[in-house]
Amino acid sequence: MEKPQKIWNRKFILLFITNLLVLAAFYASIPIIPVYCQEIGITGSKVGIVLTAMSVATILFRPVAGYLLDNFNRYRVYLVFLALFCLSFPAFIAFPLFGALIVVRLYMGAVYSVCGSATMTLASDVLPTRKITEDISRFAFTISIGMAVGPYVGIQVQNNMSSKASFLTIFGITVAAFICVACCRIRYPKVERKKFSLKDSIYKPAFPFMLNMMFLMIPYGAVIAYSSILAQEKELTSFLPYFYIFLVIGMLLSKLSTQKMIDAGKHRVLVYISLIILIATMVSYLFLGTGAHLLIAGFFFGVGYGILQPCSSHSSPEPRPLPDVVLPSPPICCPMISASASALC
């Protein structure tokens, strides 16, 4: 396919908006699902099981996602799976039963494994060849923005209207994302299809880095998923939407202020600093009792992970040409892994 000359071309802008909306929808669902489960009588470890179902499905389906995107027209594959992803949110309202919600989350995880894998690849295909790594970092800002906007909108609707209204709002966001990407119309040449092989779909040198980030991201995702319940217990619900905004502000500030050190290879000292910040912040949760404390904790949580994520990305091995995507990246992986950890607690 022909490469454009401008970074902010029409297709890139549409994909940027699409990914922002999809991530906003995804992150909006994370804090409202535990509250919704409690409302319909699902409590305790069962909430963790509902959250874990998506984690398991997303990780197990990831090799299949990579195969589909490498051996079929990835734009059409993304359109189909994004349409399927849209349907998962009304399903929460249609099937308010424990067993049914597990099935919905399994379905949601399978289709999201394709959606979460495809966007970065599609974006790289519509960018100029020169400095594609730097250009794709602009696209990655949709992650931070979506993490702030999504939970803020979802929680505001849930608090002021209802959980059902929140799911319908998220459904509307995903439909808007589908319309944006449908207007993109990326054309790909025919590809030579290869036989699916699980062995070929996994990049072994990435495993140590994936496992490292998995354990580091468990607290992050757990905080994202259960902050809504904690805020209810502490009677701080009115502060919760702003918690996510403070978290993303801290993340963006730390990313921008440490980028030169990361580029210079000073990863070790930055990792130590981020871990000290994160440990101190998590310990402070034991004494959390005010809205100001919640917001400050969110800010420093964002600072810590804003340093840690790019350090891990820069330290990871160079990816092979094919397949394009197999294992979840840290921003996508963290909520999934945290859900698994939550079920074990």
End-to-end CA distance of the chain: 49
- Write down the pLDDT at residue 172: 94
The more confident residue out of 136 and 184 is 184
With CA atoms as reference, report the closest residue to 243 among 163, 170, 173, 300: 300
| Residue 106: pLDDT over 50 | yes
CATH node for 1-188: 1.20.1250.20
Cα separation, 214 vs 209, whole angstroms:
8
pLDDT band (50, 70, 90) for residue 93:
very high
What number of other Cβ atoms are within 10 A of residue 157's Cβ? 20
- Write down the pLDDT at residue 90: 94
pLDDT band (50, 70, 90) for residue 324:
very low
What residue ranges do the domains of the chain occupy?
1-188, 204-318
Which of 41-45, 219-223, 290-294 comes out lowest in average pLDDT?
219-223
Go through 191-204 and write b for each residue having 16 or more CB atoms within 10 A of its CB, e for each that does not.
eeeeeeeeeebebe
pLDDT band (50, 70, 90) for residue 191:
confident
Cα separation, 41 vs 99, whole angstroms:
12
Where residue 265 falls (left for φ over 0; alpha for ψ -120 to 50; beta otherwise) is: left
pLDDT in tens, 240-290: 888 888 988 888 888 778 877 776 777 788 888 888 998 899 888 888 889
